[in-house]
A = this chain, B = another copy of it.
Amino acid sequence: MKTLLKEIRGNPLLWLLAFVPVVFGAARFKPEAHTLLFVLSVLAIVPLAALLSHATESVAAKTGDAVGGLLNATLGNLTELVIALAALRAGEYMLVKASVAGAIVTNTLFMLGASFLLGGLKHHTQEFNRVSARMQAGMLFLATIALLVPSAIVEADSGTHAEFTNKLSVGFAVLLIAAYGLGMLFSLKTHRELFGSESHGEEGEEPWPIGLALGVLAGVTVLVALVSEIFVESVQEAAVSFGMTQAFVGFIVVALVGAAAEMASAFSGARKNRLDLSVGIALGSASQIALFVAPVLVLLSYVIGPTPMNLQFWPGAVVMMLVAALTASLVTNSGRSAWFGGVLVLMVYLVFAITLYLLPPGGQATPP
């Protein structure tokens, strides 16, 4: 407990934890103040995500490389998963899909682009392990294809029944999870030497004792779940009062909030000229969401959702995910980066964000 308090004192990001009790208080006494609840829940999720990430790494460090890597990779997007689960339970499938697509696009374009830019402003050119970056970009591309092709094919086919789309989605979900499992086996067991230089942990941070780590993991997950519930309930109304479309909230706001802790690691890695770390976090998170989070949500929708959810995305999301995956392939291909590469990648993200912010709802580019 002392370690935890010391950690919190030393890390200004964690001071935001003060907002956790505030958001619960506000939710109880001012349940109709949606805009306030939205802002407070965002401020509370960010430090919780950081704690979650540190706890996962500490458990990973204790349990040995293989199991630890597995834990680290699987729990790395726990925040995104918990937020999406809250939306799933509320039956907000459009928000779930927007946040899945948005997490892929944000991790690939914003996290990667900002890492290149921040690193490039400090270092003239930066090198990273191009074999592993290519493999991850290829994995992301193929995962995106597997996720998108059904949308493209089904979208083109107005005569298809919803029942059929659902059956197809369950099949693909199982397939994607199988691919994810095999990818684990590959990167943690049979070919782990290829992924050598990308350790997920911050070098400076000391791992916590295992008891503390497990306790934080359990406790913080519950807290994230509770705050996510408030977040999901308030986000719709808050969006209206901020003049944001539903699509913008899911794609941009939820994705940025969910990935805040990972972004802190990726950017700090880039500044320290450890771009392998940044590229690994950005592309690893993105492909994990495509291969693991999205299919798990489809399968869980049968258990906890009001109706089954499928893998069909609206056309604008399909275009954005494909462009993000292609961009990742192109910019990581040479294994070198400089600041202008980051600018271009961020520009593409900005184009998407502006379009989603301005687009009037009701068209095909926005979700139905």
Does A218 make an interface contact (CB < 8 A)?
no
Q: Among the listed B142, B159, B182, B340, which residue makes an inter-chain contact with A362, where contact means beta carbons less than 8 Å apart?
A: B159
Contacts of A327 in B (CB 8 A): 141-142, 145
Assembly stoichiometry (copies): 3
Would you list which residues of chain A between 136 and 166 have a CB under 8 Å from chain B? 138-139, 141-143, 145-146, 149-150, 152-154, 156-161, 164
Verify A347–B142 contact, CB threshold 8 A. Answer: yes
Contacts of A160 in B (CB 8 A): 359-360, 363, 365
Given contacts A315-B156, A344-B139, whether A352 and B131 have CB atoms under 8 Å apart is no
Q: Among the listed B145, B179, B362, B364, which residue makes an inter-chain contact with A156, where contact means beta carbons less than 8 Å apart?
A: B364
Given contacts A149-B355, A343-B182, A350-B175, whether A364 and B190 have CB atoms under 8 Å apart is no
Contacts of A329 in B (CB 8 A): 330
Does A91 make an interface contact (CB < 8 A)?
no
Interface 9-mer from A8-16, A66-74, A206-214, A331-339: A331-339
Q: Among the listed B172, B330, B340, B360, which residue makes an inter-chain contact with A141, where contact means beta carbons less than 8 Å apart?
A: B330
Contacts of A344 in B (CB 8 A): 138-139, 142-143, 179
Residue of B nearest to A355 (CB): B153
Complex-state Cα separation, A142 to B157, whole angstroms: 27
Contacts of A350 in B (CB 8 A): 175
Complex-state Cα separation, A286 to B327, whole angstroms: 18
Given contacts A139-B344, A145-B348, whether A156 and B338 have CB atoms under 8 Å apart is no
Verify A186–B145 contact, CB threshold 8 A. Answer: no
Verify B316–A153 contact, CB threshold 8 A. Answer: yes
List chain A positions with a Cβ less than 8 A from chain B. 124-125, 131, 134-135, 138-139, 141-143, 145-146, 149-150, 152-154, 156-161, 164, 167-168, 171-172, 175, 179, 182-183, 186-187, 190-191, 194, 315-316, 319-320, 323, 326-327, 329-331, 333-334, 336, 338-341, 343-345, 347-348, 350-352, 354-355, 358-360, 362-366
